[in-house]
Amino acid sequence: MGRPYFFYLWFNPLMEKALSPFFQPKGVVVIGASASPEKLGYGVARNLIESGYTGTVHFVGQKSGELFGYPLYTNLQDVPDPVDLAILIVPTQATPQSIEDCAKRGIKAAIIVSAGFREIGAEGAALEQQCVEVARAHDVRLLGPNCIGTIDTHLPLNTTFLQPPMPAPGHIGFISHSGAFAAAIIDWARGQGFGFSRIASLGNQADVNETDVLPMLAKDDATKVITMYMESVSDGRRFIQAASEISKNKPIIALKVGRFEAGQKAAASHTGALAASDTAFNAAFEKAGVLRAETAEQMFDWARALENCPLPKGSRVGILTNAGGPGVIAADSLEHHGLVLTQLSDSTLKHLSATLPSAANIHNPVDMLASASPEQYAACLKILLQDKNVDSVIVILPPPPMFKAEEVAKAVNEVIGHWDKPVVVTLMGSTLVEEAVKTFASSKVVTYPFPERAASALAALVRREKFLDRRPPTEGQAVSGHRSAVGLSPDELIASYGIPTAPIKLARNEDEAVAIADKLGYPIVMKIASPDILHKSNVGGVLMNIQDAASLRNSHAQLMERINKLIPPPRIDGVHIQRQINEGQEVIVGMVRDPQFGPLMMFGSGGVEVEGLKDVAFCLGTLNQAEAESMMRKTWAGKKLKGFRSIPPVDEGAVRDVLVRLSRLAAEHEEIEEIEINPLCVLAKGALAVDVRIKFKGA
């Protein structure tokens, strides 16, 4: 599975070693173990024993004696070797001392189950900070506080207090920012019949966060898919780096919540206004190859498919059904999820025709009719899988009127195992398909109650395949410009990165304006130059199509009159004079620096209507040509560059180049918070930045 983990920049072997006791302890001590069943300290002790953990188990409690047949110590220092993980269920106030005790006993990893820290306010936050300081001082790593701990179903290990039984062993890893959500999902999964490999509940993340835990699932052989319930990210760039490396080998699916909290921040540019905080997360997940699920159900629907199915070579799907209606639903869903209802090959049609009654529909979706026998299901599925036009199959099985669903399941199961193409099953119903659900599950065939969910899962497999298939980014040219923006105008700065600008000159008065215009050539655009006016066109501060010197003088007078009427009166530096470009296409190119993820690039339809049309796409980080290209293709503005009806084609390559260069500029100038070129005028050959706006940090 690729390179050894110590190659990764975001992780090092020392850290790996420090965190390993959370999932692979040699010995565990429960501090605050209790014999009273209503206490959390009882639940943790019970689960640790019942989980079948084969390391050593120790209990520390208030009274000495025995618990579940093990000695109960009153002093941690009396606990014998081996012990390298502590589970703390002690009063909030006593936690810092308890961490110190752990360090004294040589325990360098602690799960703090107790709540009452940062989540309850300032006092709790101070106590949490104290825990962190004690831990740092003694090289102790903390999981929590306010968490439910870790589970490894294969080791096995259960450090939680959750109601037994443990989740069934499976191959889905699960990291959760919410303990309650994790508890609910564990119980729900039980009803759905799927299991987990490793689970980590992170709580307040005083120390260990989601990116720290990721490698513990990534390097676990039992974990085939990683699922994440995320409410935030602790260090955006480190997360992207880690997830990007891991997702090369294992799929990661994230359910990121908390959109409603983002609110609307004040933005200095269109780019800033259009980039909701969620946009950055979308871009981050895309960059890192993380599949973003919209709902919890969807996350685990996808995870089950990724756990159990081979990846399809393409997006062409065959549908096999014994009834028209569900087949139509499935076909609709394919389109909705960007998959293709494949055209079956002639040879497939011939074979299907020989296998099925004449009333059957042998074209995709293949409807075998209600009379379809287990043998017909199996034979037709085999025929579909043999077709080179078929990359994957959805088998649909409503309660068959003339056979038992489980008989069909058995027959279908035998076919699926022999093919390296994914087959997902839609098993519709409840009591009539109960046995069939179990039959499929026993062969690791994934089933969904409705065709829509089966199609969504297949689409996730296709996205995963496409991600893996993505060629390594072509290295961009080594673009670089002025490392210091001090004293440079926006135009000069971007020009230093090789982005051509339409020369723009400041004229302090009418005569200077005329002199500059005569030199640049007409027609001319004149814009008010004022540090107080950001959106010039809003105040009528832009005059266009000025054809000669006389009109220019006239326009200058008009402009000044208009601006001087504004209340409060803005400071006026003069006017900016620029040659007007009346050809080509206008687009917007921008950057806004996300506090978590860094530079977020934007491309789209420009002009004053950019916020209304919302025809924009985003991408995170320093772009290569392929990423720039992909952003452009997502928008109408980008597609239009190739020409459309009467609109002639323009220089796409020049736009890609500007995007790449601007992203390099953003990477090298941390002091810039937002940049926007609007419009970037794209010509038959080349592109010109006509209006450039830069917002510096703190400005």
Query: Position 216: which residue type?
Result: M
Give the nearest distance from C-beta 434 to a copy of itself in angstroms: 8
Q: Which two tokens stand for residue 279?
A: 């946009």
Between 10 and 161, whose beta carbon lies closer to a copy of itself? 161
Between 155 and 329, whose beta carbon lies closer to a copy of itself? 329
Between 114 and 663, whose beta carbon lies closer to a copy of itself? 114
Between 333 and 624, whose beta carbon lies closer to a copy of itself? 333
Between 369 and 667, whose beta carbon lies closer to a copy of itself? 369
The CA distance from 154 to 173, in Å, is 12
The CA distance from 176 to 148, in Å, is 10
560: exposed, middle or buried (C-beta count within 10 Å: 0-12, 13-18, 19+)?
middle
CB contact at 8 A, 397 and 320: no
The CA distance from 60 to 32, in Å, is 6
DSSP bridge pairs for 317: 341, 392
Between 503 and 540, whose beta carbon lies closer to a copy of itself? 540
Q: Nearest 10 degrees: CA dihedral of 263, 268, 274, 275?
A: -70
Give the nearest distance from C-beta 447 to a copy of itself in angstroms: 13
Between 177 and 556, whose beta carbon lies closer to a copy of itself? 177
Give the nearest distance from C-beta 588 to a copy of itself in angstroms: 14
Neighbours of 106 (CB within 10 A): 11
Give the nearest distance from C-beta 477 to a copy of itself in angstroms: 31
C-alpha 619, offset from chain centre: 12
Q: Which two tokens stand for residue 496?
A: 């230093």
DSSP per-residue codes, 214-244: HHHHHT-TT--EEEEEES--S-HHHHHHHHH
Helix (H, G, I), strand (E, B) or coil at 493: helix
Give the nearest distance from C-beta 249 to a copy of itself in angstroms: 28
The CA distance from 540 to 563, in Å, is 8
Contacts made by residues 347-355, CB under 8 angstroms, sequence distance 24+: 347/387, 348/383, 348/384, 348/386, 348/387, 348/389, 348/390, 351/383, 352/380, 352/383, 355/379, 355/380, 355/383
Place of tokens 């004294």: 104
Give the nearest distance from C-beta 647 to a copy of itself in angstroms: 7
CB contact at 8 A, 352 and 368: no
Give the nearest distance from C-beta 359 to a copy of itself in angstroms: 4
Between 482 and 639, whose beta carbon lies closer to a copy of itself? 639
Between 326 and 481, whose beta carbon lies closer to a copy of itself? 326
Query: Position 403: which residue type?
Result: F
Give the nearest distance from C-beta 263 to a copy of itself in angstroms: 11
Give the nearest distance from C-beta 498 to a copy of itself in angstroms: 30
Q: Which two tokens stand for residue 179?
A: 């303990």
| Three-state SS letters, 575-620 | EEEEECCCCCEEEEEEEEEECCCEEEEEEEECCCCHHHHCCEEEEE
Between 7 and 260, whose beta carbon lies closer to a copy of itself? 260
Give the nearest distance from C-beta 494 to a copy of itself in angstroms: 24
Give the nearest distance from C-beta 629 to a copy of itself in angstroms: 18
Give the nearest distance from C-beta 451 to a copy of itself in angstroms: 8
Give the nearest distance from C-beta 399 to a copy of itself in angstroms: 6
Give the nearest distance from C-beta 424 to a copy of itself in angstroms: 16
Between 189 and 694, whose beta carbon lies closer to a copy of itself? 189
Between 353 and 538, whose beta carbon lies closer to a copy of itself? 538
Between 179 and 289, whose beta carbon lies closer to a copy of itself? 179
Between 460 and 514, whose beta carbon lies closer to a copy of itself? 460
Helix (H, G, I), strand (E, B) or coil at 683: coil
The CA distance from 648 to 588, in Å, is 18
Cβ burial 49-87 (10 Å sphere, 16+ → b, else e): bebebebbbbbbbeeeeebeebebbeebeebeeebbbbb
Give the nearest distance from C-beta 627 to a copy of itself in angstroms: 23
DSSP per-residue codes, 63-130: S-EEETTEEEES-GGGPPSP--EEEE---GGGHHHHHHHHHHTT--EEEE----SGGG-HHHHHHHHH
Give the nearest distance from C-beta 162 to a copy of itself in angstroms: 8
Q: Is the dihedral of CA 262, 263, 268, 274 positive or negative?
A: positive
Instruction: Choose among 153, 466, 458: nearest CA to 308.
Output: 458
Instruction: Choose among 318, 324, 462: nearest CA to 382.
Output: 318
The CA distance from 654 to 686, in Å, is 5
Helix (H) or strand (E) run with residue 60 in it = strand 56-60
Helix (H, G, I), strand (E, B) or coil at 653: helix
Give the nearest distance from C-beta 96 to a copy of itself in angstroms: 19
Q: Which two tokens stand for residue 30?
A: 């429960």
Between 167 and 215, whose beta carbon lies closer to a copy of itself? 167
Contacts of 215 (CB under 8 A, 6+ apart): 5, 8, 11, 16, 19, 242, 246
Cβ burial 115-138 (10 Å sphere, 16+ → b, else e): bbbbeeeeebeebbebbeebbeee
Between 357 and 473, whose beta carbon lies closer to a copy of itself? 357
CB contact at 8 A, 380 and 355: yes
Between 106 and 164, whose beta carbon lies closer to a copy of itself? 164
